[in-house]
Amino acid sequence: MRLLEYEAKQVFREYGIKTPEGVLCRSPVEVKEAVARLGESVIKAQVPVGGRGLAGGVRFTSDPEEAVRIASELFERGVRGYRVDAVLVEKKVCVNRELYLSVTVDRSAKSIVYLASRLGGVEIEELAKKKPEEVLKINLDPFIGYSPFVARTIASFIGLPPSAWGEFERIAVGLYRIMIDYDAELVEINPLVVDCGGSLVALDAKILVDDNSLYRHPALAGLKSRELTEEERSAREKGFTYVSLDGYIGVIGNGAGLTMATMDLIEYYGGKPANFLDVWSGGGASRDRVKEAVKLLLENPRVKVVLVNIFGGMTRCDEVAMGVRQALEEAPVKKPIVVRLMGTNQEEGARILREVGLDVYEDVDEAVRKAVELARG
Amino acid sequence: MLADRSTRVIVQGITGKEGSFHTKLMLEYGTRIVAGVTPGKGGSQVHGVRVYDTVREAIGEVGRVDASVVFVPAKNAHDAVLESIENGVRLIVVITEGIPLHEELRMVSYARSRSVTIVGPNTPGLIVPGETKLGIMPANYYKPGVVGIMSRSGTLSYEVAWQLSRSGLGVSVAVGIGGDPVTGLDFVEVYDKLLKDPRTKYVVLVGEIGGDYEERFAKYYSGLSEKKPVVAYIAGRTAPREKRMGHAGAIISMGLGDYESKVKALQESGIPVARRVSEIPTVIQSIASKQYF
């Protein structure tokens, strides 16, 4: 789960990391007052998603009237599909240098890693691919954790003068503590700047909390749903793992990999998937869950055809079939449904569906081709 | 290979719904389950398997234990794994999904420091068709054969196994490395084991978006002088960035883990990447025909 920038910055300040002077505003009037007070300012939409700068969610002004216009636009239109409930107005910082610093998990080394670069404001993994010599990676021994030499090594690599090392070390150790205390998968300052007075300031702040650890952070767990689209929220309330996509063929699969592979196969045959819905996690493909899943997609106006891909082991195909059939009977909107069934009682499942005129396949390629064809028709 | 029919197995979390159900299926497959462990349920029986309160007690009663299959819920799985490591179990298959990231890091690092192998977490486990099964995969899709499968995904690997089985190639061994960001084994380590396995002639790598296991494997593979042919399939070509696709590990973030990067790395290392799962057997057969004729 991603903390909003202002939340992450609040955490930063609690751990002794300096952030720009700023005010959280919830209305254009508040934004106007903030800009009037701060002078040259940056107005930043608080949305739980990256790439907001390119999407117009970060704007500069020193004029309170223009600030009202910008704020009104952000509050009305949102950014990258997310509603904007608050904007952070910060005093523009006079920047001398932009740096990069983060703590994250190195999946392959199976340890916590510091990433640092003299080139701030970039996507660090992209930079690591293009200019590996510009990225310093320091893996921590899991049984030792952080030690001050880590901060010195980074400070020297990014070219900070020894006079700034003390301040830098507070930041480096702060990131590590946040990583542990918040069960984070990433704590990132991008960019970390040296301001014109020589101080280190976190211009941006990103904290990603591990979803599997949210049960240990009840105050944060409740915030998870704001990352989701309406569609995703209602699907997750029903217990499905769900991601909205922009196509028109509704996808239900059992298992994350199989469901992704089904989406990919739709694209391969010239169609576009409308979503990712995995019925497996959190309960398996029982009759009721399949029914709920199919109904959910039938009710989605973007969906033209529903494709169900069940490769069951223990999953009983007759139960799946009954679920699909009940959904079809109960749903007010009739749309084509194509079903791929493999598993226990497969023949019985196929019979149940063919009785009501549905297309049932054992071969996944055939099923997907049929769904794409129906969506075109 | 990691396990065979003589491997002596305990099941941690044996009295739970999943643990009990899959204990039955593993026993039917021929897996030698010598004991179960659930704290507080000692003395009971699950499908004829005696349950103990602790791993220590189980080993004291039944003698040597080679492996544990863990069904313990996410909040306590880390502790259960540590308990097995401390008691000298050398192979631990963690079926559990949803273990906190930092606990996974600690548990995997600790296992490594003690040379213990962890399969998973968030894995269907491993199967050696015709020999033994330490996991939850539907065994009827795994006909004994010549292809080793290493996969980050569960049900997708069942589909691959079925495609291989019906094509006549069959499966020598299938290892689910797990769908979480941090796993005990990665593709490099499983491949190393497959290289030494006399039954395995070909290897299928089933990857997905997120992380860099596939890229690292590609690099490792290109540097090997002796190798067995690998065919790859990567799920998630159509997955959006920054969205977690079901598995905790299946997310493109910070510019890392996208489909194109993985496919490019694999292809540059001479590993063909199938666009569809159903192509995999054909690709292997074409490699086979080039090898021998």
CATH at B21: 3.40.50.720
- Tell me the chain A residues in contact with residue B74 when contact means C-beta distances shorter than 8 Å: 212
- Tell me the chain A residues in contact with residue B97 when contact means C-beta distances shorter than 8 Å: 281
* Best CATH choice for the domain A21-91 from the list 3.30.200.20, 3.30.1490.20, 1.25.40.20, 3.10.310.10: 3.30.1490.20
Kindly state whether residues B142 and B48 are assigned to the same domain.
no
At A282 the pLDDT is 57
Tell me the average pLDDT across B137-162: 96
Tell me the average pLDDT across B115-125: 97
Q: Shortest CA distance to A340 belongs to which of A319, A364, A314, A372?
A: A364
Q: Nearest CB to A108: which of B98, B212, B277?
A: B212
Examine residue B275 and state whether it is found in any structural domain, yes or no. Answer: yes
CB contact under 8 A, A110 and B138: no
Examine residue B1 and state whether it is found in any structural domain, yes or no. Answer: no
Find out whether B185 and B130 touch, Cβ atoms under 8 Å.
no
At A285 the pLDDT is 76
CB contact under 8 A, A257 and B247: yes
Examine residue B2 and state whether it is found in any structural domain, yes or no. Answer: no
Tell me the average pLDDT across B116-126: 97
Kindly state whether residues B158 and B92 are assigned to the same domain.
no
All structural domains of chain A with their residue ranges: 21-91, 95-220, 228-376
Kindly state whether residues B152 and B287 are assigned to the same domain.
yes
At B292 the pLDDT is 58
Q: At what angle do helices A165-181 and A148-157 cross, to 10 degrees?
A: 120
- Tell me the chain B residues in contact with residue A279 when contact means C-beta distances shorter than 8 Å: none
Write out the residue range of the structural domain in which residue B106 sits.
8-119
What ipTM did this prediction achieve? 0.94
B128, with CB counted inside 10 A (0-12, 13-18, 19+), is buried
Token pair of A51 as six digits = 């790439």
Kindly state whether residues B112 and B189 are assigned to the same domain.
no
Token pair of A8 as six digits = 């992450």
Q: Hey, what amino acid is at B92?
A: I
Model confidence pLDDT, tens digit, residues A21-44: 999 999 999 999 999 999 999 999
CB contact under 8 A, B255 and A129: yes
Give the Cα separation of B118 and B260 in Å (integer): 29
CB contact under 8 A, A105 and B182: yes
B288, with CB counted inside 10 A (0-12, 13-18, 19+), is middle
Residue range A95-220 forms a domain whose CATH class is: alpha beta
Asked whether residue A312 carries a pLDDT value surpassing 80, the answer given is no
Kindly state whether residues B42 and B87 are assigned to the same domain.
yes
- Residue A102, classed as helix, strand or coil, is strand
Find out whether A295 and A331 touch, Cβ atoms under 8 Å.
yes
At A281 the pLDDT is 65
CB contact under 8 A, B216 and A108: yes
User: What letter would DSSP give residue A215?
Assistant: G
Query: Is B121 near chain A, with CB under 8 Å?
Result: no
At B54 the pLDDT is 98
Q: Nearest CB to B246: which of A126, A256, A343?
A: A256
**Percentage of chain B modeled with pLDDT above 90:** 91
CATH level 3 topology of A228-376: Rossmann fold (3.40.50)
Q: Hey, what amino acid is at A322?
A: M
B281 cis-preceded (ω within 30 degrees of 0): no
CB contact under 8 A, A255 and B186: no
Domain count, chain B: 2
Looking at chain B, which residue has its C-alpha nearest residue A121?
A: B254
Find out whether A297 and A334 touch, Cβ atoms under 8 Å.
no
| Residue A100 known to be catalytic | yes
Give the Cα separation of A348 and B233 in Å (integer): 32
At B88 the pLDDT is 97
Could you tell me how many residues make up chain A?
Answer: 377
Find out whether B85 and B108 touch, Cβ atoms under 8 Å.
no
CB contact under 8 A, B153 and A258: yes
Q: Nearest CB to A260: which of B136, B154, B239?
A: B239
- Tell me the chain B residues in contact with residue A282 when contact means C-beta distances shorter than 8 Å: none
- Residue A311, classed as helix, strand or coil, is strand
Model confidence pLDDT, tens digit, residues A249-283: 999 999 999 999 999 999 999 999 999 999 876 56
CB contact under 8 A, A107 and B253: no
- Tell me the chain A residues in contact with residue B209 when contact means C-beta distances shorter than 8 Å: 260
The three state secondary structure string of B9-35 is: EEEECCCCHHHHHHHHHHHHHCCEEEE
Examine residue B130 and state whether it is found in any structural domain, yes or no. Answer: no
Higher pLDDT, A224 or A191: A191
Q: Shortest CA distance to A33 belongs to which of A111, A106, A89?
A: A89
Q: Hey, what amino acid is at B161?
A: A
Cα of B292 to nearest chain A Cα, Å? 30
Cα of A227 to nearest chain B Cα, Å? 10
At A238 the pLDDT is 87
Q: What is the mean pLDDT of chain A?
A: 94
CB contact under 8 A, A261 and B245: no
Residue among A5, A167, A188, A231 flagged as catalytic: A188
CB contact under 8 A, B156 and A255: yes
Looking at chain B, which residue has its C-alpha nearest residue A283?
A: B18
Element (H, E) at A9: helix A5-14
At A14 the pLDDT is 98
Cα of A259 to nearest chain B Cα, Å? 8
Residue among B22, B47, B102, B247 flagged as catalytic: B247
Element (H, E) at A54: none
CB contact under 8 A, A281 and B246: yes
Examine residue B131 and state whether it is found in any structural domain, yes or no. Answer: no
Q: Nearest CB to A183: which of B100, B239, B247?
A: B100
At B290 the pLDDT is 81
Give the Cα separation of A54 and A24 in Å (integer): 21
Q: Nearest CB to A142: which of B21, B109, B248?
A: B109
At B289 the pLDDT is 85
Kindly state whether residues B146 and B73 are assigned to the same domain.
no
Examine residue B210 and state whether it is found in any structural domain, yes or no. Answer: yes
Query: Is B39 near chain A, with CB under 8 Å?
Result: no
Examine residue B203 and state whether it is found in any structural domain, yes or no. Answer: yes
Label residue B192 by pLDDT band (50, 70, 90). very high
Cα of B211 to nearest chain A Cα, Å? 7
Asked whether residue B293 carries a pLDDT value surpassing 60, the answer given is no
Kindly state whether residues B16 and B143 are assigned to the same domain.
no
At A142 the pLDDT is 86
Q: What is the CATH number of the domain that holds B253?
A: 3.40.50.261
Which residues lie below 8 Å from residue A348, measured CB to CB, with a gap of 6+? A317, A318, A321
Kindly state whether residues B62 and B147 are assigned to the same domain.
no
Kindly state whether residues B186 and B98 are assigned to the same domain.
no
Residue among A82, A100, A176, A248 flagged as catalytic: A100
Q: What is the mean pLDDT of chain B?
A: 95
Q: Nearest CB to A257: which of B98, B141, B156?
A: B156
- Tell me the chain B residues in contact with residue A50 when contact means C-beta distances shorter than 8 Å: 242
Cα of A63 to nearest chain B Cα, Å? 34
Q: Which residues, in sequence order, are bridge partners of residue B135?
A: B125
Model confidence pLDDT, tens digit, residues B222-261: 999 999 999 999 999 999 988 889 888 888 877 788 999 9
CB contact under 8 A, B246 and A259: yes
